[in-house]
Amino acid sequence: MTQEQHFDVAAYALGVLDQRDAERFEDHLIDCPACAIELESLLPVVDILSDVDADALVATEQSRRDGLMLKSMIGEVKRERRRANSRRLYSLAAAVVVFAMLSIGALFAGGKWLGTEPASPGTNQQAATKSTKSIDPLPLADGGIGIGGTPLPGKVLTATDARTGVTAAVGYEPKDFGTQVSFMVSNVKGKDGPLLCELVAVPVKGQEQVLSTWVVGEKGWGTAAAREVPGLVGVTSLAPEDIAHVIVRAVDPKTGEKQNLVRVP
User: Which of 265, 245, 249 shows the shortest CA–CA distance to 202?
Assistant: 245
Residue 120 belongs to a domain:
no
**pLDDT of amino acid 59:** 55
Return the amino acid letter for 66: D
Residue 119 belongs to a domain:
no
Residues 163-177 pLDDT 10s? 999 999 999 999 999
First to last CA, the chain: 70
Q: Are residues 206 and 173 in the same domain?
A: yes
Q: How many CA atoms lie within 13 A of 156 on its CB side?
A: 20
**pLDDT of amino acid 149:** 79
Residue 223 belongs to a domain:
yes
Domain that holds residue 89: 3-109
**pLDDT of amino acid 53:** 59
Q: Are residues 220 and 245 in the same domain?
A: yes
DSSP readout, 4-44?
HHHHTHHHHHHT-S-HHHHHHHHHHHHT-HHHHHHHHHHHH
Residue 118 belongs to a domain:
no
Q: Are residues 130 and 257 in the same domain?
A: yes
Q: Are residues 149 and 26 in the same domain?
A: no
Q: Are residues 198 and 102 in the same domain?
A: no
Supply the DSSP symbol for 176.
Answer: T
Between CA 25 and CA 91 the distance in angstroms is 10
**pLDDT of amino acid 225:** 84
Q: Are residues 102 and 177 in the same domain?
A: no
Residues 181-223 pLDDT 10s? 999 999 998 766 688 999 999 999 999 999 999 999 888 888 8
Domain-terminating residue out of 109, 133, 158? 109
Between CA 146 and CA 153 the distance in angstroms is 9
Residue 114 belongs to a domain:
no
Supply the DSSP symbol for 149.
Answer: G
Q: Is the peptide bond before 253 cis (omega within 30 degrees of 0)?
A: no
User: Which of 202, 188, 152 shows the shortest CA–CA distance to 172?
Assistant: 152
Between CA 207 and CA 114 the distance in angstroms is 42
**Residues of the chain predicted below pLDDT 50:** 1, 63-65, 98, 103, 106-128, 139-142
Between CA 21 and CA 38 the distance in angstroms is 18
Residue 41 belongs to a domain:
yes
CATH number at residue 230: 2.60.40
Q: Are residues 103 and 132 in the same domain?
A: no
Model confidence pTM above 0.85: no
CB-CB contact of 150 with 137 (8 Å): no
Q: Are residues 36 and 137 in the same domain?
A: no
Q: Are residues 18 and 140 in the same domain?
A: no
Residue 44 belongs to a domain:
yes
**pLDDT of amino acid 25:** 79
Say how many domains are in the chain.
Answer: 2
Q: Are residues 136 and 101 in the same domain?
A: no
**pLDDT of amino acid 124:** 47
Between CA 80 and CA 65 the distance in angstroms is 23
CB-CB contact of 153 with 140 (8 Å): yes
Q: Are residues 135 and 260 in the same domain?
A: yes
CB-CB contact of 185 with 197 (8 Å): yes
CA 2 to chain centre: 38
User: Which of 175, 181, 172 shows the shortest CA–CA distance to 233?
Assistant: 181
**pLDDT of amino acid 49:** 67
Q: Are residues 132 and 92 in the same domain?
A: no
**How many angstroms separate the most distant Cα atoms in the chain?**
107
Residue 88 belongs to a domain:
yes
Domain-terminating residue out of 77, 109, 141? 109
H or E element, residue 215 = strand 209-216
**pLDDT of amino acid 114:** 42
Domain-terminating residue out of 109, 133, 152? 109
CB-CB contact of 225 with 129 (8 Å): no
